[in-house]
Chain A
């Protein structure tokens, strides 16, 4: 599925703030993104969706600016809207339309002619193993299949910049792999949000961790986890650790000391992005 521009886009965000009435959803985000696949992680309500919607010109920020490849998301929407594909977190297909119709309609809205829209739609549905469901009204699809319709949509257009807000939430393991493979097939830059750490770790070159409307960490997975180099996570439900999360005592110790802890009944775990949340105090019990 060849298309438009190959390569990475540059997103610059400066002092971005968003208030919903009294709720400060974003409290000043400064960020430059240039990875091919960027994953935004953060707890429920951290501000991921708000950030994604501002970047894809669906929502006005309260303060600050952002530009994508030099195009201001506030003033310069023409090029952006023609170019980017942005799949909302809660997007759900119109119930009387079939996946085929839904995707084709989107491609036509993007400016394609009906014939190539139709061909691309069929191909994308096939890649997502949805050919059988292609002509079923959407209200007969399962929840996961509805999500996949929108991934197929992104794949069918194959934009230079694709935003996907939680594309794999609620998918079975095989479907999730299909979505990963679809994301890898996209030619341009992809920004996803996710609650699955292994997804961010396996898929993304660049990870942004957001908490309470601020960026806590940003970098490649390797850089972000480098502070744990030579360490291992040990945890116990019966003992308190350096960090205590949901009844679990967690500590980070040198790999050499692991055996001693295992003998004392601790469990050892590999370091993942989740540990970043823990050491940043995001999950901590007060």
Chain B
């Protein structure tokens, strides 16, 4: 474990990107804001709170998942991973550093949804703390999924397509911006494979927007562990 590396990498990579690459920030904001807008129009504002909560979840999940493209690009094209193989850092350090970087990419979006939440008077101290805990678990588990995907990609030409497909599937279909109660139970269980689902269900429960479903806490925690273990197993550190 090399905490200095993790801090330096996430600072330089995460925060420098925010500073030097505005378009990236705007692109990552577009999807949740567009959905928010559509939900507002279609429901005449009725389920706007769901879409605001969903905004937090989509920001974290889609940034982490689309990072699969980045990680594969760095390995296959820039050869940055090869460079880091010959250092004292572990695959875990590298994954963690990238994970925190992707959280940094999500910050501007999170700030916008936080302002909306304040305007809509959604927050209490307790539910804010719970939301933060949920988002951290979501960040770790969806980053782990993105490492699993990126480690399976063999050619740079497939990188962006695959990660965009996965990111859309795993963040847009789960009940991120509509009440999870709209879903039949069986669909909910299948969608729970994506950590965005338990995260959204828990958040809706804690914010009093839907009945609490505490079993989803177990699901989310299990996904954090399971996806991390799989990612650690699959990550290609030395190429074979």
Task: Tell me the A residues contacting B by CB distance below 8 Å.
Answer: 53, 56-60, 77, 80-82, 84-94, 96-97, 101, 104-106, 108-111, 113-114, 137
Contact = CB atoms under 8 A, between A and B. Distances in A.
B87 A110 contact: yes
Interface residues of B, number: 27
Contacts of B84: 106, 109
Given A92-B77, A94-B74, A97-B16, A108 B4 contact: yes
B9 interface: yes
Contact of B78 (A56, A93, A106, A110): A93
B79 A90 contact: yes
B82 A86 contact: yes
Interface of B: 2, 4-5, 8-9, 12-13, 16-17, 20-21, 74, 77-80, 82-89, 238-240
A111 B8 contact: no
Nearest to A93: B78
Contacts of A89: 79
Given A96-B21, A105-B8, A105-B9, A81 B87 contact: yes
Contacts of B83: 86-88, 91, 106
A36 B85 CA distance: 24
A94 B89 CA distance: 18
A89 B79 CA distance: 9
A113 B8 CA distance: 11
B85 A109 contact: no
B78 A91 contact: yes
B21 A84 contact: no
B20 A96 contact: yes
Given A58-B86, A81-B87, A94-B80, 12 more contacts: A56-B85, A82-B87, A86-B82, A86-B86, A88-B79, A91-B82, A101-B12, A104-B8, A106-B83, A108-B2, A111-B88, A113-B4
Contacts of B12: 97, 101, 105
Contact of B79 (A77, A85, A91, A108): A91
Contact of A96 (B16, B77, B89): B16
Nearest to B70: A94
Contacts of A108: 2, 4-5, 8
A173 B78 CA distance: 25
A53 B78 CA distance: 15
Contacts of B80: 91, 94
B2 A97 contact: no
Contact of B17 (A58, A88, A91, A96): A96
Contacts of B5: 105, 108-109
Contacts of A94: 13, 74, 78, 80
List the 4 shortest-distance A-B pairs measured between CB atoms, nearest first: A109-B87, A88-B79, A91-B79, A60-B240
A191 to B, nearest CB: 13
A92 B4 contact: no
| Residue in A59, A80, A81 with the greatest tally of chain B CB atoms within 10 Å | A81
B217 to A, nearest CB: 36
Given A97-B12, A108-B5, A92 B79 contact: yes
A60 B236 CA distance: 11
A101 B88 CA distance: 18
Contacts of A59: 238-240
A225 B88 CA distance: 41
A97 B88 contact: no
B86 A96 contact: no
B13 A96 contact: yes
Nearest to B89: A109
A89 B77 CA distance: 11
A97 B4 CA distance: 17
| Residue in B12, B79, B83 with the greatest tally of chain A CB atoms within 10 Å | B83
